Amino acid sequence: MKRFTTTFWLAFTALTLLLNLSFHEWWSLYWRDLPPRPPLILPKDTYVCDYGSAGITDDCIYLYGLFGVGDDMRKSDLLLMGSSHVKCGLSAGQLSKELSAKAAHPVRVYNVGIAEGFSFTKDVINQNKLRDKPAVIDLFSIYDNDSVSPVADTTRKYNALGAYCHVGEIWAKYVCDWFWDPFLPHLYPKRIMPLDTLPFKLTIGALHLGRFLQTTAFRSWDTGDLLDFWSPSRGMINSQPGTDLRPYDRTYEDVPNEGIKLPNMAGAQLSGQRPHIIYTLLPFDGYKLGIVPKEAQPFVPIAPEGLTLSDGLHLTELGRKLATERLMQGLQSQGIIVNLSK
Amino acid sequence: MSYTDTLFLLIFAAVCIVTWLLRPWPVIKEWFLIGFSLFVIATWGYFDLALFLAVIGVNFFAAFTMSRVRHEKSRYILTAFIIVDLATLATFKYANFIGGNLGAIMGLKIPSFPLGIPLAISFYVFHLISYLVDIHAGRVKVATLREYTFYLSFFPHVIAGPIVRAWQLVPQIGKDRRVATDFAMGFHYLVVGFFLKSVVANNIAMAIDGVWLEPDMTALSTLDHWVVAFLYYCEIYGDFAGYSLMALGMARLLGYRLPVNFRSPMLAASVQEFWRRWHITLSKWLRDYLYIPLGGNRVPPYRSMLNVLITMLLGGLWHGAGWGFVVWGAMHGIGIVGERSLGFRGQRKKSMQWLAWWIVTQIWITIAWVFFRAPNLRAANTFLWHMIPLMDGRPFVVHRTFLMSLVCAIPVILHHCAPYLIRKLERRFLAVALGLSTSVMLVLNFIVFSPTKIFIYFRF
């Protein structure tokens, strides 16, 4: 018995080492040309909110108010709500600073932008008892009201414990992949992940060789703001320039020319039960003010001039800074800040 | 939490260490494992946990009462509680199916049952029935609360089997039976199981899942349809045999042994033999607690065949509330009845007759999987229609995606050959061969990207 066990472990260890070392030697030739990994030990106010194919954590964190985020949202004076446009395109931290300076006392703002339609945001509002909170709502998410991803559908079925486990699973995957990234390549079927953007192209039949670490997004615990993206081929994205907004005569393919309609349910809920709703529409490729519904009042426009996008839909860090400034000016010019400061 | 989750595997490693440290105190160790098992169930839903605890609580009372009364009275209690267990299963799993069909027949709109299928209900209800019957028959003694809860909730088997009898697990409770090879073999099973599930089954699923959702199957050739059906056979084998191996491996690493659930089913040369190789613990359960009580083989041949049909139909229905599962079960029942009618007694291997039976059996089983997988009977019929060569102008074209997925199916074939290769191997090389194969699969588990998908049998 003992001999069997010893032989088994010896054979196992020897071949595992040999295979790993061979792969490592070969992979290191390519790996050294790739952008460095993101930090493993994140600053304490930062978390991984989206990790490649492993999944999204902020759906769970926001819906169930995990890790104290529910309290943070409830304690806030103003919520920024909407889809991924808000997640990437508005800064709660910046707005909080500017509002606090105007009000001469701390005004807390929290970014509740989630990459889902507004029906999911409504779940977050109800689950976390946020109905009476003043909120800035981006109309794009209301247009996308019922379109929620399979991730959100699954998230709705969890309980808080399951949600913690789901978040833990994504973080565990991030940590494991972070460790393996310099040592081994990862084999992806072509249909899963286009890795053509890497500086080299290694294919075996229908398989691509790529890195372990996948696209990662980081978010702030304190403000809910998106802090940065990391891409396997480009590294940290926020340090890189974006593209200018495309002309307004080309409506974004998903938004109809006749404009966004406030769905009855969302409209009733927003106007009837929530006294302090402020609408806005963050610019994206093909954006035009004509798509804003008339009943969306008060509406604070954000001028698109000079805003840069990272992918046609989402603002870059610079674009976000400008957009937040313009939102602040709009709030101020419409006298809404006075209400928030009270 | 799924057993292929990174988080679960990390926690499981910690659980292994804790149980190893607790081995001088088996009682504490087992309560710890019970706690962890209940935690695993709770991660799927608090209601699932509450129902599980309620059902096992009621049955604990039943078993306790049965042990205190005379045999004749115990029979009534047994019947009553089997009815209660089956009624629970029927309510949660089949209410919508029965209601929907009754509504369709009678033209009524019957409101649907609001709760989904609770986790593992099919499995623990079968565990409980076997436990109560075995107590009544005097095959096992009434377990203590710890033994009973451990037996039913032990996490490697609670969600999707193997279906363990009380006499298989309860005697292991309270003892530390870990032997030197347990750790090595447990690790080997865990790695192989993970490989079959994550690398093989999940990647095949990725390629063929869309086909079953696609209403227009005319885009695929006849051969494509056969390849997809075969790939599904490989997928479900990788998924379920992979899960079962992981369960065996996890149990071994914790010092317990669970029964084997698969033995190269693709080598079966008859449907009857298939059920001796596929989901062995379920087929044994159906044999012992359904087929034999119905009369088994000790009745006239026509009754015996009817018993086979009833058993297989109910076996099919056990998998899910849908007509596809019923047809799947019926096809297996008809297969067994057909073999018996034709006087099949198990041909000698390597003979031409064996080869002919093997081909016919495997084709029959592959066709049956279409009903198991297709979303409804209409889709299954359309799929089968396109499997007929004359229905297609280009029967022998195979889509490139499926060809690549056939590469993923190679490990399934190799896994079927493994027992024969091991038998041929000199004993002194066995440890080396197992060590090397474990190493290769572990490295592949790391390197090959695997999409996340829950185990198919978790839904049953």
List, for residues A159-192, the tens digit of each pLDDT value.
Answer: 889 899 999 999 999 999 999 988 888 887 765 5
Count CB atoms within 10 A of the CB of residue A225: 25
Closest Cβ–Cβ partner in B7, B431, B442 for A169: B7
Residues in chain A closer than 8 A to B443 (CB atoms) = 16, 19-20, 23
Residues in chain B closer than 8 A to A56 (CB atoms) = none
From the list B332, B46, B282, the residue with the least C-alpha distance to B164 is: B282
pLDDT band at A194 (very low <50, low <70, confident <90, very high): very low
The CATH 3.40.50 domain(s) of chain A lie at 65-157+241-341
Nearest CA in chain B to A172: B7
Which of A5, A7, A8 has the highest number of chain B CBs within 10 A, making it the mutation to test binding with B?
A8
The answer to whether B411 touches B234, Cβ cutoff 8 Å, is: no
ipTM of this predicted structure: 0.81
| A16-50 pLDDT tens trace | 999 999 988 888 888 888 888 888 877 778 899 88
Chain A: give the shortest CA distance to residue B243, in Å: 19
Collapsing DSSP to helix, strand or coil, A279 comes out as strand
Is B332 a residue of the active site?
no
Which of A1, A2, A5, A56 has the highest number of chain B CBs within 10 A, making it the mutation to test binding with B?
A5
Give the model's pLDDT for residue A268: 45
Collapsing DSSP to helix, strand or coil, B138 comes out as coil
Sheet containing A78-82: order of strands: A109-113, A78-82, A135-138, A277-281, A299-301
In Å, how far from its chain's centre is CA B457?
Answer: 6
Residues in chain B closer than 8 A to A48 (CB atoms) = none
Flag if B435 and A12 touch (Cβ within 8 Å).
yes
Give the model's pLDDT for residue B146: 92
Chain A: give the shortest CA distance to residue B177, in Å: 14
Chain A: give the shortest CA distance to residue B44, in Å: 6
Flag if B443 and A159 touch (Cβ within 8 Å).
no
Flag if B404 and A186 touch (Cβ within 8 Å).
no
pTM of the full predicted structure? 0.86
Average pLDDT over residues A137-156: 75
B448 secondary structure, DSSP code: B
Written as one string, the DSSP assignment of B369-424 is: HHHHHSSSHHHHHHHHHTTSGGG-SSTT---HHHHHHHHHHHHHHHHHHHHHHHHH
Residues in chain A closer than 8 A to B448 (CB atoms) = 186-187
| A98-108 pLDDT tens trace | 888 887 888 89
Flag if A1 and B1 touch (Cβ within 8 Å).
no
Flag if B184 and A4 touch (Cβ within 8 Å).
yes
The residue whose two tokens read 């059902």 is B55
Count CB atoms within 10 A of the CB of residue B227: 22
Chain B: give the shortest CA distance to residue A155, in Å: 12
Residues in chain B closer than 8 A to A19 (CB atoms) = 439-440, 443
Dist CA A210 CA A203 (whole Å): 9
Amino acid identity, residue B287? Answer: R
Q: Residue B242: left (phi > 0), alpha (psi -120 to 50), or beta?
A: alpha
Q: Say whether pLDDT at A269 is over 60.
A: no
Flag if A12 and B439 touch (Cβ within 8 Å).
yes
pLDDT band at A261 (very low <50, low <70, confident <90, very high): low
Q: Say whether pLDDT at A195 is over 60.
A: no
Average pLDDT over residues A88-92: 89
Q: Say whether pLDDT at A264 is over 60.
A: no
Closest Cβ–Cβ partner in A3, A5, A19 for B443: A19
Flag if A53 and B452 touch (Cβ within 8 Å).
yes
User: What sign has the CA pseudo-torsion B443, B449, B452, B458?
Assistant: negative
Flag if A16 and B443 touch (Cβ within 8 Å).
yes
Flag if A165 and B400 touch (Cβ within 8 Å).
no
Chain A: give the shortest CA distance to residue B8, in Å: 8
Chain A: give the shortest CA distance to residue B145, in Å: 26
Residues in chain B closer than 8 A to A184 (CB atoms) = 446-447
Q: Say whether pLDDT at A220 is over 60.
A: yes
Dist CA B5 CA B235 (whole Å): 19
Flag if B7 and A165 touch (Cβ within 8 Å).
yes
Q: Residue B131: left (phi > 0), alpha (psi -120 to 50), or beta?
A: alpha
Residues in chain B closer than 8 A to A189 (CB atoms) = 203, 206, 404, 449
Count CB atoms within 10 A of the CB of residue B444: 19
The hierarchical CATH code for the domain A65-157+241-341 is: 3.40.50
Determine which one of B188, B319, B415, B416 is catalytic: B319
Which of B115, B445, B446 has the highest number of chain A CBs within 10 A, making it the mutation to test binding with A?
B446
Closest Cβ–Cβ partner in A11, A157, A192 for B431: A11
Paired residues of A111 in beta bridges: A80
Flag if A161 and B43 touch (Cβ within 8 Å).
yes
From the list B145, B196, B165, the residue with the least C-alpha distance to B31 is: B145
User: What sign has the CA pseudo-torsion A304, A305, A309, A311?
Assistant: positive
Dist CA A123 CA B14 (whole Å): 36
* Strand boundaries in B159-292, DSSP class E: none
Closest Cβ–Cβ partner in B43, B446, B449 for A189: B449
Dist CA A297 CA B438 (whole Å): 64
pLDDT band at A200 (very low <50, low <70, confident <90, very high): low
Element holding B315 (H helix, E strand) = helix B301-319
Q: Say whether pLDDT at A131 is over 80.
A: no
Flag if B439 and A19 touch (Cβ within 8 Å).
yes
Provide the angle, in degrees to the nearest 10, between the axes of the packed helices B427-447 and B180-194. Answer: 40
Name the percent of chain A lying above pLDDT 90. 15
Dist CA A319 CA B183 (whole Å): 56
Give the model's pLDDT for residue B206: 83
Give the model's pLDDT for residue A100: 87
Give the model's pLDDT for residue A196: 43
* Residues in chain A whose Cβ is within 8 Å of chain B: 1-5, 7-16, 19-20, 23, 53-55, 157, 159, 161-162, 165, 168-169, 172-173, 176, 180, 184-189, 191-193, 205-206
Chain B: give the shortest CA distance to residue A63, in Å: 16
In which residue ranges of chain B is pLDDT below 50?
Answer: none
Nearest CA in chain B to A161: B43
Residues in chain A closer than 8 A to B6 (CB atoms) = 169, 172-173, 176
The answer to whether A114 touches A59, Cβ cutoff 8 Å, is: yes
Chain A: give the shortest CA distance to residue B136, in Å: 39
Give the model's pLDDT for residue B450: 78
**Average pLDDT, rounded, for chain A:** 79
Which of A9, A164, A165, A190 has the highest number of chain B CBs within 10 A, making it the mutation to test binding with B?
A165
- Under 8 Å CB pairs connecting chains A and B tally to 114
Alpha helix ranges (H) inside A32-159: 58-63, 69-75, 84-89, 92-103, 118-127, 139-143, 150-157
